[in-house]
Amino acid sequence: MVHDLFTPSIQHTLDLVGIFVFAISGSLLAVRKNLDVFGIVVLAEATALGGGILRDIVIGAVPPAAFTDLGYFLTPLIAAVLVFFLHPQVERINWAVNVFDAAGLGLFCVTGTTKAYSYGLGLTSSAALGVATAVGGGVLRDVIANEVPSLVRWDRDLYAVPAMAGATLVALCIRFSTLNAVTSGTAVVAAFVLRLLAMHFHWRAPRSWNRRTATVEVEQHVE
């Protein structure tokens, strides 16, 4: 059964790892936006916990895990403190942060899908909620920081697509009764690698087919 795939301790560890790396990315954005310490903590918590809270509310797992386990709140706080004091050093290893963020994306899209299915959702809905778990915190982070969410910006490397790939693989494995530690790990790696490739080669989603050229748009804006 899906709910037997991860033991509670393994599920908890995977959640904390993903929460920590997402909190780092939220804290770094807060520093770049010149926010104070409270703003850094808020963005860290929102980025790390937003997707999981959304998932738990949708599936009826209330109160959400983020409100019943102190570790879920303390982990982003630790990340925020590290960035607050060491952000120049963290910025210098930003490539590593991006790698860990990609790993968190892979973890959350898989664990989010499996948890949604174990609560009775269909395969398509479970996969969609797995994607929401992976990207929801980032969207909330950008909204709070008064930015257009990276998820919908054409000039950002693919982010949701890798999560969709990972969640879809999990749904297919559930459909054909092949979901186990190996196949779920494969889905995590697939989403992780696809995200890394998107960052390396700057893969982006296409825009509308008959879209006007940027030159025309700029000219009309000036007029």
| Residue 107 falls inside a structural domain | yes
| Residue 82 falls inside a structural domain | yes
Query: What is the rounded CA–CA span in Å between residue 110 and residue 33?
Result: 31
The answer to whether the CB of 41 falls within 8 A of the CB of 83 is no
Would you state the pLDDT for residue 155?
84
Instruction: Please name which of 135, 142, 134, 136 lies closest in space to residue 32, comparing C-alpha atoms.
Output: 142
119: phi then psi, degrees, rounded to nearest 5? -95, 10
Would you state the pLDDT for residue 216?
44
| Residue 212 falls inside a structural domain | no
Question: In the block, which residue shows the tokens 């797992």?
Answer: 61
Would you state the pLDDT for residue 120?
93
| Residue 28 falls inside a structural domain | yes
| Residue 214 falls inside a structural domain | no
Q: Is the peptide bond before 206 cis (omega within 30 degrees of 0)?
A: no
Q: Provide the number of structural domains found in the chain.
A: 1
| Residue 219 falls inside a structural domain | no
Would you state the pLDDT for residue 215?
45
Contacts 24+ apart (CB under 8 A), 178-183: 179/2, 179/5, 179/114, 180/5, 181/5
Q: Where are the beta strands (DSSP E) in 15-118?
A: none
Query: What is the rounded CA–CA span in Å between residue 68 and residue 59?
Result: 16
Q: What's the token pair of residue 151?
A: 């998820």
Query: What is the rounded CA–CA span in Å between residue 19 and residue 79?
Result: 9
Q: Please give the residue range of the domain that contains residue 134.
A: 2-206
| Residue 64 falls inside a structural domain | yes
Instruction: Please name which of 161, 139, 165 lies closest in space to residue 150, comparing C-alpha atoms.
Output: 139
| Residue 32 falls inside a structural domain | yes
Angle at 19 between CA 13 and CA 22, to 5 degrees: 145
Question: What are the 10-residue block averages of pLDDT along the chain, 223 residues in total?
Answer: 63 85 89 92 95 94 91 95 85 76 90 92 96 94 90 88 96 94 92 95 84 50 48
Q: What's the token pair of residue 29?
A: 């954005």
Would you state the pLDDT for residue 213?
54
